[in-house]
Amino acid sequence: MLAQTPPMGWNSWNTFGWEISEELIKETADVWNDLGLLDAGYQYLVIDDCWSLKKRNEHGYLVADPYKFPNGMKAVADYVHSKGLKFGMYSCAGTMTCGGHPSSLEHEFVDAKTFADWGVDFLKYDYCYKPHNIPGHILYKRMGMALRSSGRDILFSACNWGNDKTHEWIRATGAHMYRSTGDIQDNWESIKNIALSQWNKECYSAPYCYNDIDMLVVGMYGKGNVALGGCSDEEYKTHFSLWSIMNSPLMIGCDIRNINEATRNILTNKEIIALNQDPEGRQAYSMEQWNNSDVKIYIKPISDGSFGIGFFNMGDSDGEGSLQFWDMGLTASSGYGLHLRDLWEHENIGIATEHFTCKLKPHHCKVLRAKPVKVK
């Protein structure tokens, strides 16, 4: 079964847009394992839009652009598989892809079979140029059905940006993840707005179908296709922590061939990733503070009885995160406190009773793993 936990991988779009090629994909696959990405859980290497010719061939099949992919897609898939990775591709439910290439409307079954024959393990399915007369859930049910009939296990990644109340029907289409937001940009405002847009939609994410709040911009530093501004390393840490605790798939978007140590440390922080990859797949709940502070708190129940707790300063001035444990159900009379571990500092803080408070600079975060322990 696919997507027991949020899918993890890399996608070409954020940095490379339409400038993709066999060479880029091979070079990306080549550095993957040395960076420890597979070991950290990243598995799917996904080519986004603009990989095909602008026209189907005379038999109605999609054709890889021979300038970008001179040996065809099967050869690329074989190479990716030879590195122990899984291979992903992209199509669209409307009359064209967002980049103006042929999409799969009315070709769902033939395309799903083509992808299966090439060895594709993951299909991102976009929503541009959607026909007005067919509801979105039918378009996704069609491709969901086609993939399930293709003879290959293909993870179905729906991408309709949270439009048309997608969270209410997407699970029924067989999708394993669904974009619940618009496109991300490499800047703090975008990260903040995307995260806050999910407030109170927590219940729509669960094993086998996760809310996807878009690919990561960690490590882009203002370079590439969606790089509008860039972020600091602290902002990237906050971004990665939010995506992890909020159950989003973790799809890297930077150029991993040229990655620095700070980016690598963020993307491979196994204690943060463990919150995201918990097999129980519970979504975090979000909490406002009594004083309406810009520091938001997210709490994610973990299968071993512990909790991920994230404090995120979304504001532009210094802030304080203050969690009263009774707000998470831990009463003072219970005789329990929380054993706390800091997942960025990688150190135990000790046992706290009744509450925990931390100061946070603008856009900074603190992420803890908390285990209830008897104190009296």
Catalytic residue among 49, 111, 126, 255: 126
Q: Output the smallest distance, CB 249 to ligand GLA, in A.
A: 12
User: Catalytic site residue 126?
Assistant: yes
Q: Output the smallest distance, CB 121 to ligand GLA, in A.
A: 18
Q: What residues form DSSP beta bridges with 309?
A: 299, 368
User: Catalytic site residue 49?
Assistant: no
Nearer to ligand GLA, 217 or 297 (CB): 217
Q: Are 156 and 189 in contact (CB under 8 A)?
A: no
Q: Are 363 and 238 in contact (CB under 8 A)?
A: yes
Catalytic residue among 65, 164, 183, 233: 183
Q: Output the smallest distance, CB 256 to ligand GLA, in A.
A: 18
Binding site for ligand GLA (CB under 6 A): 13, 48-49, 98-99, 126, 159, 183
DSSP string, 6-62: --EEEESHHHHTT---HHHHHHHHHHHTTTTHHHHT--EEE--S--B-SS--TTS--
- Residue nearest ligand GLA by beta-carbon distance: 98
- On the 0-12 / 13-18 / 19+ scale of CB atoms within 10 A, 317 is exposed
Q: Output the smallest distance, CB 29 to ligand GLA, in A.
A: 20
Nearer to ligand GLA, 99 or 224 (CB): 99
Q: How far apart (Å, rounded) are the C-alpha atoms in residues 185 and 179?
A: 15
Nearer to ligand GLA, 22 or 49 (CB): 49
- Exposure b/e, 80-116, CB count within 10 A at least 16 = b: beeeebbbbbbbbbbeebbbebbbbbebbbbbbbbbb
Nearer to ligand GLA, 212 or 234 (CB): 212
Nearer to ligand GLA, 183 or 354 (CB): 183
Going from the C-alpha of 305 to that of each of 104, 149, 178, 286, 308, the distances in angstroms are 44, 39, 28, 19, 10
Q: Output the smallest distance, CB 129 to ligand GLA, in A.
A: 11
Q: Which residues are marked as active site?
A: 126, 183
